[in-house]
Structure 1
Amino acid sequence: MDDNDTGRDKMPRVVMYVSGFCPYCTMAEKLLRARGVEEIEKIRVDLQPEQRAEMMQRSGRRTVPQIYIGQTHVGGYDDLSILDRQGELASLLAD
């Protein structure tokens, strides 16, 4: 790896369904950023009802955040936090 290679190309895409005022969404974003995630695609379900319907269909859940790392549905903030404590979040982000 050369000095200009940040490894960003290797990190999977992170998508998070969120709403405008959502403390769990904020905590999830802070945790992901603390683990090196620089880009998070945020989909505002409070502004786009069709996106809420898509989120519910994809995840089977109604609450935000709903987090996807690559093709893996992580779940919400509590699920993300558990993965982090168990050391599994780092491996998901490394895929």
Structure 2
Amino acid sequence: MAPVTIYLSAYCPFCHRAVALLEQKGASYESISVDGKPDLRQFMTEKAGSHTVPQIWVGDTHVGGCDDLFALERAGKLEPLLAGDK
């Protein structure tokens, strides 16, 4: 499986939904909390081009946020991406 990285905040319901979907798919992921870490949030913003959480990467592919992750799932593209089949 491709490595998954998710930048998130503890109080973000969209973050919780994204994590739940990743867990449902059996994906292992690294979660990085940006709570109270302005330098880390700035790094995430520069890397993602967005300041909102969650921001999700599967391997080197920037997925985007929760809605983007669920759109991939609906399109049948999430599992191949997680499997490393871009």
C-alpha separation in 1, matches of 2:36 and 2:80: 33
Unaligned runs of 5+ in 1: 1-10
- In the TM superposition, what is the alpha-carbon distance from 1:47 to its structure 2 partner? 2.7
Are positions 1:28 and 2:18 aligned together? yes
The one-letter code of the counterpart of 2:69 is L
Unaligned runs of 5+ in 2: none
8 Å CA contact 1:43–1:51 kept in 2: the answer is: no
47, 54, 58: which one aligns with 2:43 = 54
Are positions 1:17 and 2:7 aligned together? yes
- In the TM superposition, what is the alpha-carbon distance from 1:79 to its structure 2 partner? 0.3
Percent identity between the two aligned chains: 48
TM-score, normalized by length of structure 2? 0.93
TM-score, normalized by length of structure 1? 0.85
- Whose Rg is larger? 1
The one-letter code of the counterpart of 2:2 is P
Are positions 1:88 and 2:77 aligned together? yes
